[in-house]
Amino acid sequence: MNNSNLIKINEIDNVTVLIKDNILNEELKEHCAKFNFNYVAERPNSGFGENNNIVFSSALELGLSNSDWFFIINPDANIELEQFILLTKEIEKTKNKLFTVSLFKDAGYLEHEHSLRNFPKWIDVLNLFLKKPVNKAYDKVKLDNFSYIDWASGAFLIFKGCLYTELGGFDKKYFMYYEDVDICYRARNKFDQKVCFIKSVSAVHDGAYANRNIFSKHFYWYLTSLFKFLVSKRL
């Protein structure tokens, strides 16, 4: 609720901000009313994918068209107004329908987040026992602007409205983790839409990385989602 950039972005004529309340927080509801955000509270305690599907349905009711852009931005992600305006210009330079930006861990854009990764394969499960990431990360420094990558973090994704509709949104069988991997995989394999990396645009993601604790429920969700993905895609 301290995201002043989102308040500025919401004031742009052709931008509509929708905020999904997953815990029915009265303070958040009042905050949305104060700053003219569209407040969505349907089906609380939903998973990441279902929450974004609910937001998309609400956006359609507000007039989102197939040619409009649907931005998915995590509550712990932040993009400055100038960077957002640049992003709206960059995504119109290609015919691609799926984009992401360069995420950093700090406001000074010094520490890259490993938000761009390769699709996992069964052999990559061994990395868990070696205490290594399952998904190999791309080196963002070596990528060019508008490079294509396998998948990007769901903390910041941009879909053309028609593509999100064709995909049927996120697969609800993933409560948390790998729903972003799955939707990027389906976009590539069903509609030949690879994720396009907008290197020229930066944003900050203050991720919690709760799945790194092997004794947590987040690690359990991560592991089960990983196997759901591998089994369904047979990689």
pLDDT of the residue at 233: 86
Contacts 24+ apart (CB under 8 A), 130-136: 134/226, 135/181
Going by pLDDT thresholds of 50, 70 and 90, the confidence category of residue 150 is very high
Going by pLDDT thresholds of 50, 70 and 90, the confidence category of residue 218 is confident
pLDDT digits (tens, 9 = 90+) for 58-71: 999 999 999 999 99
Rounded Cα distance between 208 and 66, Å, is 33
pLDDT of the residue at 118: 97
CA atoms within 13 A on the CB side of 93: 13
Q: How large is the average pLDDT for residues 103-121?
A: 96
CA atoms within 13 A on the CB side of 104: 15
pLDDT of the residue at 1: 64
Give yes or no for residue 154 having a pLDDT over 60: yes
pLDDT digits (tens, 9 = 90+) for 32-48: 999 999 999 999 999 99
Rounded Cα distance between 188 and 24, Å, is 35
pLDDT of the residue at 175: 86
Strand partners, 11: none
Going by pLDDT thresholds of 50, 70 and 90, the confidence category of residue 190 is very high
Neighbours of 63 (CB within 10 A): 8
Residue 222 CA, chain-centre distance (Å), reads 16
Give yes or no for residue 209 having a pLDDT over 80: no
> 48-61 and 179-191 are packed helices; what angle lies between their axes, rounded to 10 degrees?
60
**Could you give the percent of the chain with pLDDT greater than 90?**
85
In eight-state DSSP terms, residue 160 is: E
pLDDT digits (tens, 9 = 90+) for 51-60: 999 999 999 9
Average pLDDT, the chain: 93
Give yes or no for residue 235 having a pLDDT over 80: no
Give yes or no for residue 9 having a pLDDT over 60: yes
Going by pLDDT thresholds of 50, 70 and 90, the confidence category of residue 215 is low
Rounded Cα distance between 86 and 64, Å, is 21
> 179-191 and 217-233 are packed helices; what angle lies between their axes, rounded to 10 degrees?
20
pLDDT of the residue at 176: 86
